[in-house]
Amino acid sequence: MGATLSQYVAFLSFTPSDTGNLLAGSVVLAVMVLPILVFAQIEFLQAVPREFVEASLACGATRWQMVKTVALPYALPGVLVGVVLGLGRAVGETMAISMVAGPTNPPSTPNSLFSPATPLTTLILMNIGSLTPGFFEWSVLFSAALILLSISVLAVAATKLLARRKQEIGVYNLLYTPSGKAAFLEESVVRSLMVALCLLVGSIPVCIVGEFLIKGVLATAEIGPHVITECLRLVHQGGEVMFSGGLLNDVVGSFLLSLLSAVVAFPIGLLTGIYLAEYAGERWLSRAIRVACEALSSIPSVVLGLLGFALFVIYAKAVTGGISLLSGSLTLSVFVVPYIARSVEEGLRSVPQGIKEAVYAVGGTRAHVILVSLKQIRPILAAAFLSGFLRALSESAPILFTAGPSDFVPRGLWDPVGCLPVRIYLLGFEFRVFKNAMAYLYAAATLLMLLIILVNIPMRVLAKRWRRYVV
């Protein structure tokens, strides 16, 4: 493309880079936001009243004609909500885009589709560790964080406005009769296209999981059993510097960080959800808290990581120890609280009103009603704690700012700690310098996947068992 099309379109000119370019970053972000777009459209398309669908089909329309003339116009606000949420997710991504977009130092504006790019998140990530609070550059990073925060808040506000938009059925003039040959030809072409795209979307996770399972298992077998019994270290062998040992420090660090953050966030989220469901009602305060929770859950991780760095590492260093397990856990807990609070609120609202009235009828107080309701939603509480744990387990930017990395197992809350997502990010750059870094990268990815599965299975079994016992 750079040799031919760039002669006519300057934006397609090729710029050599060993660290990626704008196109690579865009493809990765497209894969990451695809689930948000798909599930948002599914949710709103399923909300189309059934009688509208049946009326369209009864008039002789094909299924695709029904979709484009009835379902899509009715669900258009929801489709736009998915687009806005996807935009917010893409703007706030940090680690993935830093690994494949080819950041430049100093930052420069990309002049083509194949030139390196330095988004705001990457700018913060590249410079956070080398700046001193109070200097001009420090203010620049917080200005960049403010821009990202503003985009996230505007995205949440836009989704709220779109969700409130009145849904109407559009009226379109067909260029051919519903039962004509052209209609059925269009139906066949569109159906074939949708099936092909669904197969493409379905193949993406299969390829990702297959890639890491095959190469990860081979890499883990190559490293040997000490991959989970020893800590990672550098050794000199035959004039080369290479990795040796294992990933014990990162496995233990990932588990401790996620567990502590979930433990800290769960009571806060639980009390917030109880207040919103049982006490707040529909007043302005409850609406403000819900909007704040939604905004907090959509804020880019690098922004909260920068906040955690300034608050826990710099200003509260005497309490947290600076870069430490405690600082990382407190920062991650900020991510987890909105998910737990929203899950608890929705769970309590799903408890049948008859159960609550029965508790009042036998002389119970509001506290008794809450206790009975919490017993009813024990599976939801377990799932909320699990989702918080897994949410923290997948984060890397805040941990890189506040907790590590570290090549040793932490001996206390005030020691630095590493984790598997940060190790994967670092190994993605170190493979050019240290031998067998890619083997450890695939081994770390495999261990992270296994850790997620091992945590998921017992929690789901426990939630299923609790579901049998209701008041």
235 has which bridge partners? Answer: 242
Q: What local confidence, expressed as pLDDT, does residue 414 receive?
A: 92
- The string of DSSP codes covering 261-301 is HHHHHHHHHHHHHHIIIII-TTSHHHHHHHHHHHHHHHS-H
Amino acid identity of residue 57, one-letter, is: L
Q: What percent of the chain has pLDDT over 70?
A: 93
Assigned token pair, 103: 């950041």
Q: Is the pLDDT of residue 470 over 60?
A: no
Q: What local confidence, expressed as pLDDT, does residue 331 receive?
A: 92
Q: Is the pLDDT of residue 308 over 70?
A: yes
Q: Is residue 225 helix, strand or coil?
A: helix
Q: Is the pLDDT of residue 465 over 80?
A: no
Q: What local confidence, expressed as pLDDT, does residue 267 receive?
A: 93
Range with the largest mean pLDDT of 234-238, 267-271, 274-278: 267-271
Q: What local confidence, expressed as pLDDT, does residue 194 receive?
A: 94
Q: What local confidence, expressed as pLDDT, does residue 167 receive?
A: 60
Q: Is the pLDDT of residue 358 over 70?
A: yes
Q: Using 50, 70 and 90 to split pLDDT, how confident is the model at 471?
A: low
Q: What local confidence, expressed as pLDDT, does residue 266 receive?
A: 93
**Is the preceding peptide bond at 405 cis, omega within 30 degrees of 0?**
yes
> Rounded to 5 degrees, what are φ and ψ at 178?
-55, -35
Q: Is residue 154 helix, strand or coil?
A: helix
Mean pLDDT of 62-79: 84
Range with the largest mean pLDDT of 58-62, 283-287, 310-314, 376-380: 310-314
Range with the largest mean pLDDT of 121-135, 234-248, 353-367: 353-367
What distance in Å separates the CA atoms of residue 379 and residue 367, rounded to the nearest whole number?
A: 20
Q: Are strands 240-244 and 233-237 parallel, antiparallel or unpaired?
A: antiparallel
Instruction: Give the residue with greater pLDDT, 159 vs 277.
Output: 277
Per-residue model confidence as pLDDT tens digits over 444-460: 988 888 888 888 787 77
Q: What local confidence, expressed as pLDDT, does residue 166 receive?
A: 60
CB 414 within 8 A of CB 325: yes
Query: In whole angstroms, what separates CA 341 from the centre of its chain?
Result: 17
Per-residue model confidence as pLDDT tens digits over 17-30: 777 888 888 999 99
Taking alpha carbons only, the member of 179, 181, 174 closest to residue 70 is: 174
Q: Is the pLDDT of residue 264 over 90?
A: yes
Q: What percent of the chain has pLDDT over 90?
A: 11
Mean pLDDT of 238-253: 85
Q: What local confidence, expressed as pLDDT, does residue 85 receive?
A: 78
Instruction: Give the residue with greater pLDDT, 18 vs 202.
Output: 202
Assigned token pair, 387: 């989702």
> Rounded to 5 degrees, what are φ and ψ at 283?
-80, 175
Mean pLDDT of 391-403: 87
Q: What local confidence, expressed as pLDDT, does residue 134 receive?
A: 66
CB 34 within 8 A of CB 40: no
Q: What local confidence, expressed as pLDDT, does residue 258 receive?
A: 92
CB 334 within 8 A of CB 312: no
Amino acid identity of residue 322, one-letter, is: G
Residues 6+ apart with CB under 8 A from 164: none
101 has which bridge partners? Answer: 20
What distance in Å separates the CA atoms of residue 5 and residue 361, rounded to the nearest whole number?
A: 77
Mean pLDDT of 251-268: 92
Assigned token pair, 22: 């704008």
Q: What local confidence, expressed as pLDDT, does residue 176 receive?
A: 59
Range with the largest mean pLDDT of 138-147, 187-196, 286-295: 187-196
Q: What local confidence, expressed as pLDDT, does residue 328 receive?
A: 92
Q: Please state which of the ranges 99-108, 224-233, 304-313 shows the lowest mean pLDDT.
A: 99-108
Q: What local confidence, expressed as pLDDT, does residue 244 receive?
A: 84
Query: In whole angstroms, what separates CA 4 from the centre of its chain?
Result: 38
Long-range CB contact pairs, 246-250, < 8 A, 24+: 247/420, 247/423, 247/440, 247/443, 247/444, 247/447, 248/409, 249/406, 249/407, 249/408, 249/409, 249/417, 249/418, 250/418, 250/419, 250/420, 250/422, 250/423, 250/444, 250/447
Q: Please state which of the ranges 26-35, 360-369, 430-439 shows the lowest mean pLDDT.
A: 430-439
Q: What local confidence, expressed as pLDDT, does residue 48 receive?
A: 85
Q: Using 50, 70 and 90 to split pLDDT, how confident is the model at 171?
A: low
Assigned token pair, 218: 């081979």
CA neighbours within 13 Å on the CB side: how many for 96? 19
Residues 6+ apart with CB under 8 A from 147: 120
CB 74 within 8 A of CB 56: no
Average pLDDT, the chain: 84
The C-alpha angle 91, 95, 99, rounded to 5 degrees, equals 110
Cα distance between the two ends of the chain: 66
Q: Is residue 355 helix, strand or coil?
A: helix
CB 380 within 8 A of CB 416: no
Longest Cα separation, the chain: 82
